[in-house]
Amino acid sequence: MERPAWAPQGIDISVPSVSRIYDYYLGGSHNFEVDREAARKAMEFMPGLPTIMKANRAFMRRAVEFALADGVDQFLDIGSGIPTYGNVHEVAHAVDPAARVLYVDHDPVAVAHSQAVLDGVGHAAVVSADLRKPDTILGSREAAGLLDLERPVALFLVAVLHFLEDADDPYGAVAELRDALAPGSLIVLTHASYEGLPVPREQAGGAVGVYRTIRNPLVMRSREETARFFDGFEMVEPGLVAMPDWRPDSPADQEDPYAFSGFAGVGRKA
């Protein structure tokens, strides 16, 4: 297998990665054939997967703009993935060039690309760390240099928590991050669910099985289970809803039905 020049040394390009699969769904070019193969297998069961990813990105953009309007100009984006057009720092800096953005991912390809994209960009950085170990994120040199935890921070957990199994204690990780944030901070998250999917659960289960096969289990959680991540936060209107229904720019009734699967929401720490 030929290694592209942009692939960081030391990574096994024969193993699929969720961030590179996501990049493929979004039409990016930083993925390998093994990632594309896994993506195509998942799309045999759920052809609307790219639509779901694009709905995630659109929600993320609206949430960044909401945070800035709410007076929050610091962003901690965990599970940030491979940079594509319209990343958090681009959306934020278009409104406030002084906004601070720290990206976090544990995929070496995502981190390497983020470093390349952020070269020469002020008030933005990336750190290689894992959501399951919040202390390594909050205690990082990059976080210390960029974020002022005495002031509100917008914590972005977009399309990442569903890759943590219950054994990973995702609720504990989110609670640890919440407790480190100042009052007025925001949590912004999306989560996959069988609820709202336009295909039968058994069919969607085929796509979930693909992720399990590549050792990146996709954990579908219910509305109630997703709502638990907001413990200690006050939900911002309209609450926990389908992604296109969260403060849409225009009526979302023409959207592809796949866009309405899963949940999105924003909470504010009192």
* 80's tokens: 């940030």
pLDDT reading at 184 higher than 70: yes
Q: Does residue 9 form part of some domain?
A: no
Considering its fold, how many domains does the chain have in total?
1
Is residue 191, in this structure, part of any structural domain at all?
A: yes
16 neighbors 42 (Cβ within 8 angstroms): no
The confidence score (pLDDT) of residue 133 equals 97
Query: Is residue 241 in a domain?
Result: no
Under the banding of pLDDT at 50, 70 and 90, the label for residue 122 is very high
In a domain, 242, yes or no: no
State residue 253's pLDDT score: 58
- Looking at residue 254, what is its pLDDT? 63
- The whole domain housing 51 covers 18-236+255-269
DSSP string of 124-179, one letter each residue: EEEEE--TT-HHHHHTSHHHHHH--TTS--EEEEET-GGGS-GGG-HHHHHHHHHH
Over residues 25-43, the mean pLDDT reads: 94
Using CA atoms, how far residue 47 sits from 234, 257, 261, in Å, is: 35, 11, 13
pLDDT tens, position by position, 79-93: 999 888 789 999 999
Q: Is 64 contained in some domain? A: yes
* pLDDT attached to residue 85: 77
- Asked whether residue 3 is domain-assigned, the answer is no
Please state the φ and ψ torsions of residue 100, each to the nearest 5 degrees. Answer: -110, 135
Interior/surface letters 216-253, b for 16+ CB within 10 angstroms, e for the rest: bbbbbbeeebbbebbeebeebeeebbbbbbbebeeebe
| Weakest mean pLDDT among 27-31, 35-39, 70-74, 206-210 | 27-31
Residue 6 within a domain = no
In this predicted structure, the answer to whether residue 4 has a pLDDT above a threshold of 90 is no
CATH number (domain holding residue 64): 3.40.50.150
Is the pTM above the cut of 0.75? yes
